[in-house]
Amino acid sequence: MVAVLLQPFSTATVPPLQRPSSRLAKGLDIQPASLCKNNSGGPHKGSVLVVEFNLYQYLVISKDTINFKSCVLLTCRSLLVVHFWAPWAPQCAQMNGVMAELAREHPQVSFVKLEAEAVPEVSEKYEISSVPTFLFFKNSQKIDRLDGAHAPELTKKVQRHASVGSLPPSGNEHPKEDLSLRLKKLTHAAPCMLFMKGTPQEPRCGFSKQMVEILNKHNIQFSSFDILSDEEVRQGLKTYSNWPTYPQLYVSGELIGGLDIIKELEASEELDTVCPKAPKLEERLKVLTNKASVMLFMKGSKQEAKCGFSKQILEILNSTGVEYETFDILEDEEVRQGLKTYSNWPTYPQLYVKGELVGGLDIVKELKENGELLPVLKGGNE
């Protein structure tokens, strides 16, 4: 497993290996190239981390797998962007190019590439379920993440986190007008909008967590915005709504209030009349599984699979010529978790024909080998 720490220099002309300074070596097991050989005289494989840093190349050896923690510590004072990728995913290759360009534009930022399936313990710790996924670290702490091949969003996040702590640019009053329009759009982005710290899946403060629990308990349908990901929105919304704290809940663009107000509405049994109710999950799953005669619930889409199992099942279905639709379970955590119980099937992908579960990748492979797959699929297209 090899990870590359990208910096703005031409990789075609890497300078000779030199010993690292004590600053770089702190917390790392770094050896000169002459010591990094296996018994056959060739370089180590699997446990070698190639780091390109400040125009020099170093080999960092760990006992079993990549010393990921040390890699984070190496750049503890600057922004570190980690790309979890897979060699079979073309979208990852595309994003590697984007990272290389960002590395040239932001020499103060470090970029690391990790093959997700080769470091399962790291991927599991950080809940990497698809590629590409990007994690952002600062002061040895994870501060943000991005799932999917979204070059514009990656660029925005790098620019935002790299500039935190710097002085804001000078300007006139025009940006404030733009911010006001932006806040209006955000508060109207969904019938019920929650501005919180973190996400509903990963709240990053106790108040936000309590708010999410109350809304979910009452089956209230809402969208959310992580104010920790955008300092401009975080500060601007306080003035826009004349409400100094978070979380903040909006219905039809109007501020309802913070956690205390929501608790009062819940106690007075008014909350259900104020906020829109979500359809029952079981009814929603029934509609989704019957959306097309052949429905595939997968990680990613027809055009862009985000895990190896989903990629394989797409290839099998495409070879049959049968029409089918897909649903990206990475885009909806409620569906992702709920469908496991609904179908009594714990993993993805899942294939449905006329609303009935056929099975996952292994079942589909067996049906193909036995010559039964096409009749099963065509039964859903009659």
- Helix, coil or strand: residue 175: helix
- Confidence category of residue 2, pLDDT binned at 50, 70, 90: very low
Would you give the end-to-end CA distance of the chain in angstroms? Answer: 48
- Confidence category of residue 375, pLDDT binned at 50, 70, 90: very high
Inform me whether the pLDDT recorded for 297 exceeds 50: yes
Q: What is the pTM (predicted TM-score) of this model? A: 0.38
Q: Which domains does the chain have, with CATH numbers?
A: 4-163 (3.40.30.10), 174-274 (3.40.30.10), 282-379 (3.40.30.10)
pLDDT mean across residues, the chain: 77
pLDDT digits (tens, 9 = 90+) for 45-88: 333 333 333 222 222 323 334 445 555 555 455 788 888 888 88
- Residue that has been written with the tokens 């009594």 in this structure: 344
Please work out, in degrees rounded to the nearest 5, the angle formed at the alpha carbon of residue 330 by the alpha carbons of 355 and 347.
60
Q: Tell me, rounded to whole angstroms, the distance of Cα 301 from its chain centroid.
A: 15
Inform me whether the pLDDT recorded for 323 exceeds 90: yes
pLDDT digits (tens, 9 = 90+) for 357-367: 999 999 999 99
Dihedral angle, C-alpha 310, 312, 313, 314, nearest 10 °:
80
User: What CA–CA distances, in Å, run from 242 to 110, 225, 255?
Assistant: 39, 18, 10
pLDDT digits (tens, 9 = 90+) for 89-138: 888 888 888 888 888 888 888 888 888 888 888 888 888 888 899 998 88
Residue of 265, 232, 264, 260 lying closest to 246 (CA atoms): 260
Under a CB-based contact definition with an 8 Å cutoff, are residues 294 and 322 in contact? yes
Continuous segment of H or E residues that includes residue 180: helix 174-187
Q: What is the pLDDT of residue 107?
A: 83
- Helix, coil or strand: residue 324: coil
Inform me whether the pLDDT recorded for 260 exceeds 60: yes
Q: What is the pLDDT of residue 36?
A: 31
pLDDT digits (tens, 9 = 90+) for 162-202: 876 443 444 444 444 588 899 999 998 888 999 999 999 88
The residues, ordered by sequence, that sit 6+ positions from 205 with a Cβ below 8 Å of its Cβ are 196, 197, 198, 246
The residues, ordered by sequence, that sit 6+ positions from 116 with a Cβ below 8 Å of its Cβ are 84, 85, 86, 123, 128, 131, 133
Q: For strand 56-61 and strand 192-196, is the pairing parallel, antiparallel, or unpaired? A: unpaired
